[in-house]
Structure 1
Amino acid sequence: MDKFNNKWMRAVLPALLIHCSIGTVYCWSLFKGDIAAYMGSSVGDVEWAFSIAIFVLGMSAAFGGKFVEKDIRKSSLLAAVFFVAGMAGTGFSIAQQSLIGVYISYGVVMGIGLGIGYLTPVKTLMLWFKEQKGLATGLAVLGFGLAKVIASPLIGQLLGARNSEGVLINPENVYTMFYILAGVYLVMMMIGHLMIKKPDGYTEAIAQGQKFNYIEVLKNKTFIGIWLMFYLNITCGLALISQEKGILLFVGFGAIGLVSSLTAVFNAGGRLMFSALGDQLKDRNSIYKIIFISSITVILLPLVFNNMNGVVMAFLIIALLCIINAGYGGGFSSLPPLLADRFGLHAISTVHGLALSAWAIAGLTGNQLATFILDQTGSYNVLLFVIMALFTVAMLISIFVVKPGKVDLPGEAVEREKALATS
């Protein structure tokens, strides 16, 4: 058994199994129309299930961090139970044509599994990769990004053939697909649950006498700055990613599927590249400065050269979408090591969970921001200007609010003074 007790078998593989399962939430666009058609509901009504899932993901991570901190074995099991139950429940709700059931199963139950499952492998990876924390979290979050690439062909096969109008020939496939996926992900997540393990000799922070104070963290200027720039990065990313198809059609580029696959690769690649690069930098916050500067630049180019011919403009737009996707993914993977550098590893699951509440709020505002601007102006240029302005605000926060160096929370200072007094 000793040969399996290493960072690849006890941290990396379990993390990929868990994240490649729960990351399937991003396959929603592949079947939301089929769900709506089978249930006789509008796509807009069904769409709320995804928004609820992302919101619950963020909030369950925010409130579940302390539970994950105590026992990753229990948290990985809980994540598997909730995610698989939510997946199977979604299939049952579709079969019963219950929209409320879909909201509860896909949105709430599966959302809890998503939040707990997303947090569970992160600290374990950073403990096994102490000198390469960015690479470690990049590997985990890479699985979340790759899930769509891996699952999309399987989902296409399970849904089956379509007629000339794009309607499923066998509509029942839409709910049987969820039953099959639930079985597949149950196996994957249970293997991850059985394999995941912290390094031998690691002692939890609770045993070290360190206490966690939510209020101290939530009031901390550095945490607020990190939360805001993380929120703005997700909001801007979702605002553009949600309009990917429309923007490409507007500039006359029709190979939507090709660009979608390309941006998915950049999204996944950015998760590994940016976080791993952070290991080589003096301050991991520099990664966010790179993300924001590159994002502002690629948005500015098509605005400045908007009179160029169609081919050049299409190239600039594709480059824009790829870079934004890379920065969107990199923002997720670079967050845990940045928080660990500022607040320490002893309560990283809890601090990371609190920061992920930004994801919950951004999940409700990102798409809606783009829709509102386009409804009011009908102009993609206005959308790009607004997103560029938000990236600029995020850049200023990164420079002036998120300062270098470890944050000394009041509670930690008291604990240290007590330790020095008794030593």
Structure 2
Amino acid sequence: MGKTKNRWLIAASAVGIHLSIGSVYAWSVFTKPLANEFDWDLTDISLTFSLAILFLGLSAAFLGHFVEKYGPRKAGILAAVFFGVGMIGSGLAINMESLLLLYFFYGVLGGIGLGVGYIAPVSTLVKWFPDRRGLATGLAIMGFGFAALISSPIMQNLIESVGIANTFFILGTAYFIIMIASSLYLEPPAKGWVPAGFEEKVKNGDAVLNQDLSQLTANEAVKTKRFYYLWIMLFINVTCGIAIISAASPLAQESIGLSPVAAAALVGVLGAFNGLGRIGWASVSDYLGRPNTYTTFFVLQIIAFPLLTVIDNPLLFQIILAIIYTCYGGGFASIPAYIGDLFGTKQLGAIHGYILTAWAAAGLIGPMFASWIREATGSYSQSLMVFTGLFVAALIVSLLIRLDIKKIRATQVKAKAS
């Protein structure tokens, strides 16, 4: 029998991977320097980020089975190779002054590294934390949310001191090393493992062993209604959240009269609430339950989005935006634990990959939809009301999934009785 690894170091390794790949959220730091140096169009530069998010979703879906078959260590190393080569290759693309090569290295290869790296540690964390699923996955995915706060100033300083290409070379090498080191510690626990003293706590009634609704493979999961309920809920939460994130600065300027500098500072502060929402809501979901947590997300946002159209008090406006940001981050962080609750841990990584296609779709649709409504109506108010309607639909879905769970539980009880 080998020595059991420390589950908190497993969590720290997951955070290391997510802090590295989460730097994609700081892409905007490169936008102006690239435009100034090469006179490239801002829309063309922004396409690099869109491609990265698209390939994140696609690779998470197609390589989820790789994670399950070969384990988190090999999957993490694969992610490190793709993301590291993507970053270093982006430096070569800059030296060659090729936007197409930048699309390929950062958007395609980097995006594949993002997708594999995002899901690689999550299913392992769920197995190491049977007592606190939400907290465990929230820790890792919090790293993804906070990464931009850490990497943005580093990127800015490097660009100013060594240039754009060298920034990609340095960061690509650093992220590769961090991701490899983190991946090498990743390992699933032995089958049936539980934390020390946990069984005794369960016997004494001081803890509850989570009873998964089922143990399904990814291909079995996609044939169920509850899979599509989860997909729709994540899609709506991310679509509306990304739309607000992409428009937060102009929305604040238009609604409460903030200056461009103050609005930019607000966006940075709100990024912290995105990260805090990931660990906060995911931890709360261990006590509230995942169905209650998602219903709460949608109720809060049904109230918050219309309020943004009528409130002119700067402090209250910013508090409401902060709440929306926490719900956006919390939706990402709570979904892996919800998947575990509904489908078990047999192929959680692969199922998570399939679900994340909702993120890829939302990343393309959300910002474009908000911009289109803004241009068509002359203000953000109409788009905020449309998003409120979408949250009403998401709330209905969050209630329908409860009925589905209740029906399956009843069937299981009946089968046991017979």
Aligned match of 1:377: 377
Q: Distance in 2 between matches of 1:134 and 1:104?
A: 35
Q: Distance in 2 between matches of 1:36 and 1:279?
A: 46
Other structure's SS at 1:219 match = coil
Aligned match of 2:179: 189
After TM superposition, list the pairs within 5 Å mapping 1:311-322 onto structure 2.
312=313, 314-322=314-322
Aligned match of 1:167: none
Q: Distance in 1 between matches of 2:102 and 2:64?
A: 26
Larger deviation, residues 272-281 vs 30-39: 30-39
CA contact (8 A) 1:21 1:147 kept: yes
Does residue 266 in structure 1 map to residue 280 in structure 2? no
Aligned match of 1:114: 114
Q: Distance in 2 between matches of 1:92 and 1:407?
A: 56
After TM superposition, list the pairs within 5 Å mapping 1:135-150 onto structure 2.
135-150=135-150
Q: Name the count of aligned residue pairs.
A: 386
After superposition, the CA RMSD in angstroms is: 2.3
Q: Distance in 1 between matches of 2:265 and 2:24?
A: 21
Does residue 44 in structure 1 map to residue 43 in structure 2? yes
Q: Which amino acid aligns with 2:113?
A: G
After TM superposition, list the pairs within 5 Å mapping 1:318-357 onto structure 2.
318-357=318-357
- From 253, 256, 259, the equivalent of 2:263 is 256
**What do the CA deviations read for 1:286-336 (whole angstroms, capped 9, x no partner)?**
111111111121222233x45x5xxx1x22321222111111100000000
**What do the CA deviations read for 1:180-210 (whole angstroms, capped 9, x no partner)?**
101111111111011112224569xxxxxx8
Aligned match of 2:221: 217
Aligned match of 1:169: none
Aligned match of 1:241: 245
- From 195, 199, 209, the equivalent of 2:189 is 199
Other structure's SS at 2:120 match = helix
Aligned match of 1:155: 155
Measure how far apart 1:212 and its partner are.
3.0
Other structure's SS at 2:222 match = helix
Measure how far apart 1:39 and its partner are.
2.7
Aligned match of 2:205: none
Aligned match of 1:99: 99
Change (3 A) 1:46 1:135: same
- From 173, 180, 185, the equivalent of 2:170 is 180
CA contact (8 A) 1:263 1:321 kept: yes
Q: Distance in 1 between matches of 2:361 and 2:179?
A: 27
Aligned match of 1:164: none
Does residue 278 in structure 1 map to residue 256 in structure 2? no
Q: Which amino acid aligns with 1:292?
A: F
Aligned match of 1:53: 52
Q: Which amino acid aligns with 1:118?
A: Y
Aligned match of 1:293: 299
CA contact (8 A) 1:134 1:337 kept: yes
Q: Which amino acid aligns with 2:35?
A: A
Other structure's SS at 2:345 match = coil
Other structure's SS at 1:280 match = helix
Q: What percent identity do the matched residue pairs reach?
A: 39
CA contact (8 A) 1:343 1:406 kept: no
TM-score, length-scaled by structure 2:
0.87
CA contact (8 A) 1:16 1:140 kept: yes
Q: Which amino acid aligns with 2:329?
A: G
Q: Distance in 2 between matches of 1:377 and 1:201?
A: 57
Measure how far apart 1:401 and its partner are.
3.8
Q: Distance in 1 between matches of 2:407 and 2:341?
A: 9
Measure how far apart 1:404 and its partner are.
5.9
**What do the CA deviations read for 1:261-310 (whole angstroms, capped 9, x no partner)?**
321111001001111111112x412111111111121222233x45x5xx
Q: Distance in 2 between matches of 1:407 and 1:132?
A: 26
Larger deviation, residues 387-396 vs 236-245: 387-396
Change (3 A) 1:60 1:299: same
CA contact (8 A) 2:216 2:343 kept: no
Larger deviation, residues 315-324 vs 236-245: 315-324
Q: Distance in 1 between matches of 2:13 and 2:182?
A: 4
After TM superposition, list the pairs within 5 Å mapping 1:79-90 onto structure 2.
79-90=79-90
TM-score, length-scaled by structure 1:
0.86
Q: Distance in 1 between matches of 2:343 and 2:126?
A: 14
